[in-house]
């Protein structure tokens, strides 16, 4: 089959999932005809992705969270205002996505949690079948456990997740654990999509801390802690603009630009791992038996962190409390069930791409789709295009 990827490009998680899935699909004889990546002007597409995907990559502007002035947590109000002002850009992106689907003659579109893909299927209903894949689709599972958060925020998160999946024939929910399928919602629970480089890595108990900062403002916390503990070696990764590939503060603190091979090498040999709670890197740490400190920057990551903590991945904090992480590294017990679950990834995911398991008929619009179509058509007259 001809398959087109559409990837939500904020952070590294969905990008590495796309790399992993492409490896598996090509090995099965499928053809990945192109990759569309939704991103904001403030983010750069990591070089490791464009080099390793080995398929034409095209970017388009997509809605995203904006950080606070200190570039740490997401600023919800600022994000809403910013994205509202750029609606005309997103309309153009939807038209572009629909055109690329037609031009590539894709049989299947794989949507890695990109909102504008769902809206493309809402307005244009392309003939290509859409399969959605992300950890976030687990939020729609009736047995998923949420942390104690604002009920309106959780409802908004579920609504956003539904919007990304409009028109999909199935939702592959990446999970830390095995859970039942939900046929009525077309939800199929599958293991994480870890790349071969992770599966082949050999865990070692090193003497340094490893980390990933989605928002570079957290580097101030890391620097402050380092001044109090200069003897602790640390290697953190970020995507801060206008800095060198390796920024060495001193002999024991280095900030690296995102480089996925290097990232996994440091993960395999680390004492422990600190992160802004993205699903993918937490899974990599769990597979390589590293305790994790999770510092969520927005509601999705708060749900990721809570879910991971239930599986013994590590601890949740509102700041980079590396003292606690060092203490945890002395007592942490790896989750052996997780590695067995990951080993089932290939057959559980690849079977969902068999042509006989794809819905043949065009999906009938749901009440949700009809409702959204009605209201967006009413609002459309006010949008500048």
Q: Cβ distance 193 to 20 under 8 Å? A: yes
What's the confidence (pLDDT) of residue 65?
61
User: Phi first, then psi: what are they for 365, rounded to 5°?
Assistant: -60, 130
CATH fold group of domain 198-339:
Rossmann fold (3.40.50)
- Separation between Cα atoms, residue 275 and residue 11, nearest integer Å: 12
The region that residue 159 occupies, defined by phi over 0 for left and psi between -120 and 50 for alpha, beta otherwise, is alpha
In this prediction, residue 70 has a pLDDT band, given cuts at 50, 70 and 90, of very low
Q: Write out pLDDT tens, residues 283-323.
A: 999 999 999 999 998 899 999 999 999 999 999 999 999 99
* DSSP labels, 134-174: EGGGGGGSTTPPPPS--HHHHHHHHHHHHHHTTTEEEEEEE
Domain pair 2-196+344-380 / 198-339, same fold: yes
Give CATH for domain 2-196+344-380: 3.40.50.2000
| DSSP 8-state code for residue 356 | G
Q: Cα-Cα-Cα-Cα dihedral of 188, 191, 195, 199, to 10°?
A: -160
Q: Cβ distance 56 to 213 under 8 Å? A: no
Q: Cβ distance 346 to 24 under 8 Å? A: yes
Domain residue limits, the chain: 2-196+344-380, 198-339
Q: Write out pLDDT tens, residues 175-219.
A: 999 999 999 999 999 999 998 999 999 999 999 999 998 776 788
What's the confidence (pLDDT) of residue 331?
94
Which residues, listed in sequence order, are joined to residue 173 by a DSSP beta bridge?
134, 189
């Amino acid at each position: 089959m001809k398959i087109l990827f559409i990837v939500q490009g904020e952070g590294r998680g969905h990008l590495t999932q796309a790399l992993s899935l492409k490896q598996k699909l090509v090995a099965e004889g499928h053809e990945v005809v192109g990759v569309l990546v939704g991103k904001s002007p403030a983010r750069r597409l990591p070089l490791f992705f464009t080099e390793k995907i080995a398929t034409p990559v095209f970017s388009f502007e997509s809605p995203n969270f904006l950080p606070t002035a200190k570039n740490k947590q997401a600023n919800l109000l600022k994000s809403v205002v910013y994205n509202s002002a750029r609606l005309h850009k997103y309309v153009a992106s939807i038209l572009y996505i629909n055109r690329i689907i037609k031009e590539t003659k894709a049989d299947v579109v794989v949507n890695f949690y990109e909102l504008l893909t769902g809206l493309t299927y809402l307005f244009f209903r392309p003939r290509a079948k859409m399969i959605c894949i992300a950890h976030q689709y687990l939020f729609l599972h009736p047995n998923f456990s949420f942390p104690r958060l604002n009920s309106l925020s959780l409802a908004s998160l579920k609504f956003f997740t539904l919007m990304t999946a409009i028109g999909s024939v199935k939702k592959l929910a990446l999970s830390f654990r095995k859970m039942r399928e939900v046929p009525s919602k077309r939800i199929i629970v599958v293991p994480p999509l870890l790349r071969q480089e992770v599966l082949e890595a050999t865990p070692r108990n090193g003497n340094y801390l490893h980390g990933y900062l989605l928002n570079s403002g957290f580097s101030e916390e890391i620097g402050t802690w380092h001044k109090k503990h200069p003897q602790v070696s640390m290697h953190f990764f970020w995507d801060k603009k206008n800095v060198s590939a390796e920024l060495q503060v001193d002999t024991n603190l280095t900030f690296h630009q995102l480089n996925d091979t290097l990232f996994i090498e440091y993960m395999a040999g680390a004492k422990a791992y600190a992160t802004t709670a993205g699903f993918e890197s937490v899974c990599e740490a769990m597979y390589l038996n590293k305790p994790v400190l999770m510092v969520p920057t927005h509601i999705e990551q708060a749900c990721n962190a809570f879910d991971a903590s239930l599986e013994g991945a590590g601890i949740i904090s509102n700041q980079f409390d590396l003292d606690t992480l060092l203490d945890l590294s002395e007592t942490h017990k790896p989750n052996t069930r997780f590695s067995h679950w990951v080993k089932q990834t290939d057959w559980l995911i690849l079977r969902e791409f068999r042509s006989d398991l794809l819905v043949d008929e065009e999906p009938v619009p749901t009440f949700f789709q009809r409702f959204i179509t009605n209201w967006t058509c009413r609002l459309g007259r006010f949008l500048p295009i």
